[in-house]
Structure formats: structure tokens, C-alpha cells
A and B are shown apart, each in its own frame.
Chain A
Amino acid sequence: MSEPTGKREAQRKVERIRAFREQLGELVREGVLDLSPDQSAKLDVHLNKTLSELAERFDVDVSDSQKQISLGMLILSTLGGLAFCAGVFLFFYRYWGLISTPAQVGILILTPILALIAMNFASRREKTLYYTLLIGLVAFASFIMNMTVLGSIFNITPSQNAFLAWGVFALALAYPYRFRLLLAAGVICLVIYAAAALTAWSGASWVACAERPEFFLLMALAAVLVPVIVRHRKLSDFAGVYRLVGLLFLFAALFMLMHGSQMSMLPFGRKTIQSIYQIMAFVAAGAAIWLGIRHRLPDTVNLGSAFFAVFLFDRLVYWWWDWMPRYLFFFILGLIAVGLLAVFRKIRTRMAGVRTP
């Protein structure tokens, strides 16, 4: 059995061991399997040793009660983090006007740096990294506040470069600690930066990047391709984050272009552009589902299916809502859902057939 590289993988291994034990107990009770006391004791020792090693190394939950407490801790740490951030914000809100400008600048620069040092300190003292993630989020939020408030104090022209700094900052925290949330934040910032930079280079204001979804389309594709180009063997969870963030941007950009052909830079007529992006949207969602099934990526399949449904519903409303009686529209919608269910059922049966030798 391969060694887990992270907490999530270790937790999956614990779940497999627990399922194996349950199934084994059932087989013994039914008399299908008859283990000698010596074999049974050896197996128990081995499994207990594996579980305690995993608990020691990755601080995983080996029982249901531990799992429930961990969930409670996660909720508590999130709420605590939010309360802490609100407290810091309101404190400065109360006294900000009484502080001189150099002191304000000093506080803005020092806050993320102190949070980073605290994060490093916390990471050395805990295995679960709950507090480390919490402080990491505070560090990221305070760096965003740093740039935003500094711009506000000195009336600086907003620039897309801030997204580059935020993105690199988030990635610098995400990789050493394996924080997927910060990785997602970093990738979002970098996609926005790249799309905004392309918009600026094309001659428009970078702020207008929201009206140029084609740049987002390119950058989203780049984000999806990152795990293909850069293999994340030790950080297997990270590939999914790049893929999901990239696909979200991709589908959102396609949705915008399906409706707003005036935002496109393609040298075609309005109808042609809309048709191109409508076809592209369905092809992209279908491709995501197909690739997700093929490579066993359930998140990609779910996202692809969700957007396929959104695109389909959107088109059906656009084509039929005005001229069709409402009851007929919903009747056809129900029929399409039944048809899709039949297709998915067929795929599911085929997959079960492939898995069962």
C-alpha cells in the first residue's frame, strides 16, 4: 500500500481500514471467512499499529467521535477567525483617524508580516494546522487591506499589479502548508491579474477586464493546464484546485459571451459570435464530464454536469419561454431531465461493468 503524502490521503487510508474491519467482521460472523486466533491477533496488531502511526504522523481522526470533534473544531476555528478579523478591523476603524500617516503606513506593513511570523510559530507547535490556517487567512486578508488602504490614503491609481502581489503571497503560504483554500485564492488573484494585464496591453483600462471575458477564457485554460504541465505528485490535492478554479472561470466567461456578443473581440457578426460560444459552452461542459469520468475526477464531473444543466436551461428559456405555453415548457424540461437521467444511468452501469472484473 502506498504511503500517504498528506492529511487527506491519510484520512482516506483510515476510512479504508475501518471499512475493511467492518467487512471482515461481517464475513467472520456469516462464516464465510474463518481466521485463526493467531491470524486475527496479528491482523489487529498490524491495523492498530498502522492507525496509531497515521494518527501520530498526520493527526487524523480514527474514530467517529474524534471526527465529530474535529468538525466542531473546524467550525469553531472559522468562526473564531472571523470574529478575530472583525475585532481587529473595528479596533482600527475606531482609532485610525487619531493615528498619524507614517504610523498608519507602519501598521499596514507590519500587520501581514507579524501574521506571517505568528503563522510560522503556530505551524511549529501543532500538527492539525487549524490555527496556522486561521492565521494564514488573517495574513492574506491583512495584506489585501495593506494594499487597499495604502492606495486609499495616498489616492493611488488602482493597478492590476496588486492582484499579482496577492496571488504570489497566497501561493507562498499555500505550498509549504498544503492549504487548498489559500491556493484557490492565489489562483483566482493570478487569473484576474493576467486577464487585467492583457486588457491593459490591448489599450483599455485594466478595470474593463470584466468586459473582456475572452482574456479570462485564455487564463482559465492556462489554470486548468497547470497540473498537466507541472505534476503535483506530493501535493495531489492541488491539481484539483487548479482544475476547479480554472473551470469555474472558463464556464463563467463562456456564459457571459453566450449572452454578450458585444464583449467579444472576434471579427464576426453578433449572431455568429453567440452561436460560436453557445456551441463552445456545451462542448466544454461535455468535455469536462467526459474527461472527469475517464480520469476519475468526481469534482470535475460534478462541475461539468452543473454547468451543462445551467447552459441547457438557459438556452431552453431563451428559445421557448416566450412562445410556448408554460405547462408545455416545464413538461419538455421534465422530459429532457428524464432523458439525461437515462443517459447518466447508462454511463453509470458501463462504469460499474468496467470496475467489476
Chain B
Amino acid sequence: MNRTGLILAITVVLASNIFVLIGVSGNRSGVPFETIELTERELTLQSQPKDDSGISLYLNWKQPTTEQLPSGRARDAHFDSVKLQELGVQLQLSGRLRIARKIPSAPRGLRSLRV
């Protein structure tokens, strides 16, 4: 067996994880600017298969329907960081978030918002 391949593969695994975890720690290093307390009203438990023990939290938001938009197409880009700031959410814009603003999936940029 070629040990170089094994070492390279392990290095790739470790380097990728370190890279991701450094990003995660940087992302979580800030002080939360807002704390939201969620009650059972918001956190309704949905029925889960017996074999699924995972817990997920999703943020749902409403957006204009197709009929409400003049262009005739629903675009969640309306709910971008500018709109969020108008609504009172203070976003710490990182370079990546600024790019994310152009993307239809902009709410993914809510990396610095802790719940």
C-alpha cells in the first residue's frame, strides 16, 4: 500500500475540518446583540419518526406571493439585509455576507444572529 495516499487523505480530512471549525469559531466569537426567548408557541414539536432523534430549528418567514409581485415571480431577495436592518435587526456584515446579499438565499447570511 502506498502510504502517501493514506497520509494525503487523512491530511485532507483534518485540514478541511480545521478550516471549517476555525470559521465556526470566528462566526461564534461575537457577543450576541439580541436574545430571543422562544416558547412552546413558536417551538411546536412536530411528529417525528421513532428512529429520528435529531433536533432542528428552522426560521420561517413570509414573503410576497406571486400575485403580489409586479414581475409575476416570487423572489425572496426582497428579504435582504437592508430589509432586515429596517426591521431593527443589527447585522454585522462580513465580506461573505455582503456577497450573500445578492443571492436569492440571503437569509443564510444570518450567521451572526444567535437565537
Interface residues of A (CB under 8 A from B): 90, 93-98, 105, 108-109, 112-113, 116, 119-120, 123-124, 139, 143, 146-147, 150-151, 154-158, 161-162, 165, 168-169, 172-173, 175-177, 205, 207
Q: A116-B6, A165-B16, A175-B2 are in contact. Are A157 and B55 (CB under 8 A)?
A: no
Q: Chain A residues with Cβ under 8 A from B54's Cβ?
A: 93, 96-97
Contacts of A146 in B (CB 8 A): 13, 16-17
Interface of B is mostly: helix
1/0 per position for B100-115, CB-CB distance to A under 8 A?
1011010011010000
User: What are 12 A-B contacts defined by CB distance under 8 Å?
Assistant: A94-B53, A105-B21, A109-B13, A112-B13, A116-B6, A116-B10, A146-B16, A147-B16, A150-B17, A154-B20, A169-B9, A176-B5
A120 pairs with B1, CB closer than 8 A: yes
For B5, list chain A residues within 8 Å (CB).
172-173, 175-177
User: Does B41 belong to the interface (CB within 8 Å)?
Assistant: no
Which of B24, B53, B105, B109 sits near A95, CB closer than 8 Å?
Answer: B53
Which residues of B pack against A, CB within 8 Å? 1-2, 4-6, 8-10, 12-17, 19-21, 23-24, 27-28, 51-55, 96, 99-100, 102-103, 105, 108-109, 111
Cβ contact within 8 Å between A116 and B108: no
Q: Is the CB of B9 within 8 A of A205?
A: no
Chain B, Cβ-Cβ closest to A123: B1
Q: Mostly helix, strand, loop or mixed at chain A's interface?
A: helix
Task: Name the one of B6, B8, B28 contacting A168, with C-beta atoms under 8 angstroms.
Answer: B8
Of chain B, the residue at the smallest CB distance from A94 is B51
Shortest C-beta distance, A199 to chain B (Å), equals 12
Q: A93-B51, A154-B24, A157-B111 are in contact. Are A169 and B96 (CB under 8 A)?
A: no
Residues of chain A within 8 A of B12, CB atoms compared: 143, 165, 168-169, 172
A151 to chain B: closest residue by CB? B20
How far apart are A5's CB and chain B's nearest CB, in angstroms? 15
A207 to B103, CA, bound (A): 9
Q: Nearest-CB distance from A106 to chain B (Å)?
A: 10
Q: How far is the CA of A113 from the CA of B21 in the complex (A)?
A: 17
- Among candidates A120, A147, A168, residue contacting B20 with C-beta atoms closer than 8 Å: A147
Determine the residue in chain A with the shortest Cβ distance to B103: A205
* B111 near A120: Cβ-Cβ < 8 Å: no
**Contact between B27 and A154, CB atoms less than 8 A apart:** yes
Query: Contact: B53 with A157, CB < 8 Å?
Result: no
Q: Which residues from chain A contact B51 at a C-beta distance below 8 Å?
A: 90, 93-94
Q: A157-B108, A207-B103 are in contact. Are A113 and B13 (CB under 8 A)?
A: yes
In angstroms, Cα B16 to Cα A105, docked, is 13
CB distance from A7 to the nearest CB of B (A): 15
Nearest B residue to A136 by beta-carbon distance? B9
Contact between chains at B4 and A176 (CB < 8 Å) = yes
Contacts of A169 in B (CB 8 A): 9, 12-13
Q: Which residues of B lie under 8 Å from residue A94 when comparing CB positions?
A: 51-53
Q: Which residues of A contact B17 (CB under 8 A)?
A: 105, 108-109, 146, 150
Inter-chain CA distance A157–B97, complex, in Å, is: 9
Q: Tell me which residues across on chain A come within 8 A of B111, comparing CB atoms.
A: 155-157
In the complex, chain B residues whose CB is within 8 Å of the CB of A116: 6, 9-10, 13
A272 to chain B, nearest CB (A): 27
What are the nearest 4 A-B pairs in CB distance? A97-B53, A176-B2, A176-B5, A172-B8
- Chain B residues near A139 (CB, 8 Å)? 9
Q: A93-B53, A116-B6 are in contact. Are A156 and B103 (CB under 8 A)?
A: no
Smallest beta-carbon distance B34→chain A, Å: 16
Task: Give the chain A neighbours of B21 by CB distance below 8 A.
Answer: 105, 150
Q: Give the complex CA separation of A196 and B5 in angstroms.
A: 26
Residues of A within 8 A of B19 (CB): 161
Please report the C-alpha to C-alpha distance between residue A158 and residue B20 in the assembled complex, in whole angstroms.
Answer: 11
A155–B112 Cα distance when bound, in Å, is: 10
CB distance from B93 to the nearest CB of A (A): 13
